[in-house]
């Protein structure tokens, strides 16, 4: 099943924003020298910076610089001070999610509480590369589980993710299929952009520019007192199944 999440986060073969890559390289060098932070380009500025950098790249055979991961904001944050990821490095002092999924009742309210816990663990994994918590909420054969493997590998290589945080709001009925013993929750995916930073200077940016493809659904089971995500459905899947 093609997942709206995998589609949004798919790693592109090309289209890296070279302007952002150059910025990240400078930030990495700056972190090594423990110098003061310089202003990083906002996502809206990246396209224009990319055009200029592309012209420069075509005139030079110089390989892309290696990115050195430093501290977001240009310095180590004090204990307890949360800082979002930026061109300098990944997020700092991200609040921890639950160690283990909680037991909730087999009701719509119980499901929504589990989903809240999952989103916290999901966004924690995006910001830290530690996805062991969120993997406990999803089946191993889902696209989400595979995506978490990519995120873990990215951080292990020395990369990180800028922004990339997700939220969801319920947009349809909460239904139960007695034949499959599965529940379906239709939601709207709320997100802005995500920049995946590789240590070799390559960056991939996904932006939520379309306003007609954010509906999606989670398919879940309830066993032994625990909810579990077993599949995700894109908006096209929902249309083809007559669910919207």
If pLDDT is split at 50, 70 and 90, which confidence band does 201 have? confident
Residue-wise pLDDT for 157-172, tens only, equals 999 999 999 999 999 8
**Per residue in 114-146, is it b (16+ CB within 10 Å) or e — as a string?**
bbebbbbbbbbbbbbbbbebbbbbbeeebbbbe
Placement of tokens 């969120």 in the chain:
134
Q: What is the residue-averaged pLDDT of the chain?
A: 80
pTM given for the model: 0.78
Q: E-assigned strands of the chain?
A: 160-163, 167-177, 182-190, 193-197, 203-207, 215-223, 226-233
Residue-wise pLDDT for 57-72, tens only, equals 443 445 556 777 899 9
Placement of tokens 């005139």 in the chain:
59
Predicted confidence (pLDDT) at residue 13 exceeds the cutoff of 50: no
What the chain holds in terms of domains, given with CATH numbers, is: 4-240 (3.10.450.540)
Placement of tokens 């290696």 in the chain:
66
Residue-wise pLDDT for 101-136, tens only, equals 999 999 999 999 999 999 999 999 999 999 999 999
Tell me, what's the pLDDT at 52? 41
CA 202 to chain centre: 17
């Amino acid at each position: 099943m093609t997942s709206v999440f995998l589609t949004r986060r798919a790693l592109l073969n090309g289209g890296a924003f070279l302007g952002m890559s150059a910025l990240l390289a400078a930030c990495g060098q700056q972190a090594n020298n423990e110098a003061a932070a310089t202003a990083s380009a906002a996502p809206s500025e990246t396209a224009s910076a990319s055009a200029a950098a592309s012209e420069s790249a075509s005139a030079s055979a110089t390989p892309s610089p290696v990115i050195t991961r430093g501290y977001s904001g240009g310095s180590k944050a004090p204990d307890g001070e949360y800082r979002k990821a930026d061109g300098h490095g990944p997020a700092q002092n991200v609040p921890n999610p639950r160690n283990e999924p909680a037991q909730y009742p087999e009701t719509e309210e119980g499901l929504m509480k589990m989903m809240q816990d999952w989103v916290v663990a999901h966004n924690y994994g995006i910001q830290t590369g530690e996805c062991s918590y969120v993997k406990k909420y999803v089946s191993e054969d889902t696209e989400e589980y595979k995506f978490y493997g990519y995120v873990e590998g990215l951080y292990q290589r020395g990369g990180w993710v800028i922004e990339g945080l997700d939220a969801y709001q319920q947009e349809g009925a909460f239904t139960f299929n007695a034949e499959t013993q599965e529940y379906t929750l239709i939601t709207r995916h709320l997100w802005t952009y995500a920049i995946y930073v590789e240590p070799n200077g390559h960056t991939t940016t996904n932006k939520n520019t379309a306003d007609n493809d954010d509906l999606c659904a989670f398919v879940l089971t309830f066993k032994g007192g625990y909810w579990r995500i077993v599949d995700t459905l894109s908006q096209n899947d929902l249309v083809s199944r007559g669910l919207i």
